[in-house]
């Protein structure tokens, strides 16, 4: 009799445990379907930053908000530096990372990248008075290049022989101030980001070095490689936004032009980095 009771108890525990697991799985699935957790920086103007009302906004921010609406998801933002954003996606602390992430082969080995939401190319910000002694990409050798560690642009600077000066989630005025004071010599980054940053700080005697452009690029949202369903949904939403003009409208509101289409510029050089 005791043996029978033990068997029944074990069976009951198995059934109850199974119900609990199913309930947890259902709740987890429901949570995942109802919320889109987005990792971003909040310091990268005009992709992800705080406006005068202390509201988080920017091109990538508003694009992900629109995607959330189309997927019927509540969008929640969490702020990290670059490495923290990618780690958050890898460990499922965030569903996606949205911070002007370039689409490249190495990144695609670890993550899924959405359909491009932006097309651009690389440029250099230098001191206005002397171009920081730079007239071509070859002149970067020996110069002090400013940027956030591990980014593609810092890897390009390193490959060109620059001395790297690393910053952690710094704002544009910090970068520009150090450049003007000679603590650094050059900032390599996305052309449109640099164009907006320079225009936003008109008192800073800096400029984009004209006609020295490199590495045509595209950027999108970073997604965990295992989350194929989410990637499919996001790509579908982006495709619809391109078709109905919503993406172009958001792009123009932040960049003054439609950066969701490929630009027509002369590229000096393409530099491969890992």
* This model's pTM is above 0.75: no
Q: Check whether 44 has a pLDDT greater than 50.
A: yes
Span 41-48, mean pLDDT? 92
Kindly report the CATH class assigned to 121-215. alpha beta
Kindly report the CATH class assigned to 32-119+218-255. alpha beta
| Element of type H or E holding 165 | strand 163-167
Q: Which residues pair with 48 in a beta bridge?
A: 44
Spell out the alpha helix ranges (H) of 113-272. 152-159, 172-180, 191-200, 228-243, 246-255
Span 235-260, mean pLDDT? 97
Q: Which of 4-8, 79-83, 201-205 bottoms out in mean pLDDT, i.e. has the lowest?
A: 4-8
The answer to whether the 32-119+218-255 and 121-215 domains have the same CATH topology is yes
Could you list the beta-strand ranges (E) of 89-154.
96-102, 111-113, 118-127, 144-148
pLDDT tens figures, 208-223 = 999 999 999 999 999 9
Looking at the chain, the whole-number percentage of residues with pLDDT higher than 70 is 88
Q: How confident is the model at residue 23 (pLDDT cuts 50, 70, 90)?
A: very low
Q: What is the pLDDT of residue 167?
A: 94
Q: What is the pLDDT of residue 21?
A: 44
Q: What is the pLDDT of residue 33?
A: 63
Q: What is the pLDDT of residue 27?
A: 39
Span 76-96, mean pLDDT? 96
Domain-by-domain residue ranges, the chain? Answer: 32-119+218-255, 121-215
pLDDT tens figures, 119-173 = 999 999 999 999 999 999 999 999 999 999 888 899 999 999 999 999 987 889 9
Q: What angle do CA 58, 59, 62 make, to 5 degrees?
A: 80
Span 97-117, mean pLDDT? 93
Q: Check whether 2 has a pLDDT greater than 50.
A: no
Of residues 1 and 105, the one with the higher pLDDT is 105
């Amino acid at each position: 009799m005791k043996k029978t009771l033990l068997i029944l108890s074990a069976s009951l525990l198995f059934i109850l445990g199974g119900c609990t697991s199913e309930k947890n799985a259902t709740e987890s699935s429901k949570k995942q379907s109802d919320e889109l957790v987005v990792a971003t920086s909040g310091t990268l103007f005009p992709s992800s930053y705080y406006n005068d009302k202390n509201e988080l906004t920017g091109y990538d921010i508003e694009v992900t908000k629109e995607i959330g609406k189309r997927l019927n998801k509540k969008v929640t933002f969490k702020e990290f530096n670059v490495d923290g954003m990618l780690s958050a996606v890898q460990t499922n602390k965030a569903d996606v990372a949205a911070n002007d992430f370039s689409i490249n082969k190495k990144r695609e080995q670890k993550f899924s990248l959405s359909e491009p939401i932006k097309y651009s190319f690389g440029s250099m910000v230098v001191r206005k008075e002397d171009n920081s002694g730079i007239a071509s990409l070859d002149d970067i050798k020996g110069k002090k290049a400013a940027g956030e560690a591990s980014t593609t642009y810092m890897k390009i600077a390193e490959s060109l022989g620059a001395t790297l000066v690393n910053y952690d989630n710094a704002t544009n005025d910090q970068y520009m101030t150090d450049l003007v004071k000679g603590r650094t010599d050059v900032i390599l980054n996305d052309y449109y980001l640099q164009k907006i940053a320079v225009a936003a700080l008109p008192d800073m005697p800096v400029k984009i070095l004209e006609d020295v452009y490199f590495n045509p690029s595209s950027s999108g949202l970073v997604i965990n490689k295992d989350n194929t369903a989410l990637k499919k949904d996001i790509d579908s939403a982006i495709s619809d936004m391109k078709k109905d003009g919503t993406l172009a409208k958001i792009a123009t509101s932040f960049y003054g032009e439609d950066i969701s289409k490929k630009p027509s510029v002369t590229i000096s050089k393409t530099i491969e980095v890992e």
